[in-house]
Copies of this chain bind each other. A is one copy, B any other.
Amino acid sequence: MWPSSRIANLDKSIDDWVLFDLPRIAVLRLGHRPSRDKRITTHVCLVARAFGAEGVFISGVRDESIHSTIQKVMDAWGGDFWVEFVGSPMKVLDKWKASGGVVAHLTMYGIPVKQVKDMIPSDRDLLVIVGGEKVPAQYYEKADFNVAIGNQPHSEVAALAIFLDRMTGGAWEGMPFKNARLRIVPSERGKNVEQY
């Protein structure tokens, strides 16, 4: 589980919020194809942002519409999230490991998250790889952990959410986002949004 410092400042105002001494979490999304994957990759990015990652590397076909969609969300809802298209995803993996980070690849063929979670170091930067249907064998070999969010076929979007939930100990709940223009006031019925 992630250090509790991630949620240490919940009592303070959002401006005082500091994520101190925390390992970074980033996501590497493999093989984006604009025609087929636009919305899935957008959901991967939004889930990464909402569940505590700092950004997403995307490999495959460069797709500026992802950038602009995420930028619009950040303009409204805040945070310092980034999206970066990369030509060589394997280089991202290699560099991440070379600088001391740990790499977890989400795959239905891997070890169930319940069994593997406590083996993943929580004090090192974490790169989470989410693929498509055909992930080259090299990723299975080079990843420190091949993690299954269940051994049934479902969704890389759901897998990422559950994995980040487990790895951050649910710290995403109530996590504030800096410089938000809109903020939701939770409501039993209807919509209540504050503007700043």
Q: A: which residues have CB within 8 A of B?
A: 36-37, 39-40, 43, 46-47, 49-51, 73, 77, 108-115, 137, 140-141, 146, 148, 150-155, 157-158, 160-162, 165, 170, 172-175, 177, 183-184, 186-193
Contact = CB atoms under 8 A, between A and B. Distances in A.
Number of copies: 2
Nearest to A142: B189
Contacts of A108: 184
Nearest to A115: B186
A116 B96 CA distance: 39
A63 B173 CA distance: 35
Given A155-B161, A158-B158, A109 B46 contact: no
Which among A161, A170, A190 has the greatest number of chain B C-beta atoms within 10 A?
A161
14 contacts: A37-B39, A39-B39, A43-B155, A47-B154, A49-B152, A50-B150, A109-B190, A114-B170, A114-B173, A140-B191, A141-B189, A150-B172, A154-B161, A162-B165
Instruction: List the 9 closest pairs (A to B, CB-CB), nearest first.
Output: A158-B161, A43-B155, A151-B184, A50-B154, A46-B154, A50-B152, A157-B157, A109-B191, A47-B158
